Amino acid sequence: MSRKPIIAANWKMNIGPAEGAQFIESFKNLINGKDVSCDVVIIPPFTTIPSVQNALGGCSCIAAGAQNVSQYDNGAYTGEISTSMLNELGLKYVVLGHSERRQYFGETDAIINAKIKKAIAAGITPIFCIGETKDERLGGILEPVLEIQLKGGLKDLTPEEVSNLVIAYEPVWAIGTGLTATSKEAQEAHSFIRKVISDVFGTAPQQTTPPVMEKSALMPIVQTVVPEEPILKANETVTAYTLFDKAYRRYTRLILLL
């Protein structure tokens, strides 16, 4: 099954509306007229989403997404955002199960599962994040951890629903620590994820985001680039590698989900 790579930039709690719009204008110029061979998703803070969408101006090669959504439709849930609100903005993607939501906000597999179901029902594609800590990997329980997260987060979903979502494997220990996951470690995790999905649902997810998996190898933090240096050559095809390896060197805030 052929899968088009997905590159998602999660801005987390960074970049306000004005700066977000400015970045999008620069980023559009970067890839304008290029053969973009991957799906690009920008995931700003909620308050920055409208300015990002305005700056995109209907650009077909870049989609916008949300960093979270509530498992409830509406009501007295201060600070929450519903799927109907995301639909009103025309968002195509929502990140769910991110390790920071699990760690800092106590989101369990059951909560994530409820959110995934709500997003799917609303026609929004979940980017479902799973991953292990360093202690879990060193302790030899990588696969049990991933299996629990997969089965818990995708509980009661149909094979068709699972085949249309995105699974983002994020090795938690490689986020902001200076540690890196090798391509071999990434592919081993991807293979296991696909096996669990196949065993449980008899299908495969739309994507298990190889570009996200290879973040550490693709994305060394390079702070300085000569401003006049063109990131892409005139006839260069934009692949998952060139787009973010080169763009990240100039725009260090354009980061992958992890």
Q: What residues are labeled active site?
A: 98, 170
Walk across the sheet containing 39-43 and list its strands. 6-10, 39-43, 62-66, 93-96, 125-130, 166-169
Distances from the Cα of 89 to the Cα of 47, 83, 154, 250, angstroms = 12, 10, 26, 29
Taking alpha carbons only, the member of 57, 77, 61 closest to residue 69 is: 77
Rg (CA), the chain: 18
Q: Are 136 and 148 in contact (CB under 8 A)?
A: no
Alpha carbon 5 to its chain centroid, in Å, reads 11
Place of tokens 């960093």: 67
> How many helices and strands, by DSSP H and E, does the chain display?
12, 6
For residue 23, give every residue at least 6 positions away whose Cβ sits within 8 Å of its Cβ, in sequence order, or none.
15, 251, 253, 254
DSSP secondary structure letter of residue 48: G
Rounded to whole angstroms, how far apart are CA atoms 21 and 13? 16
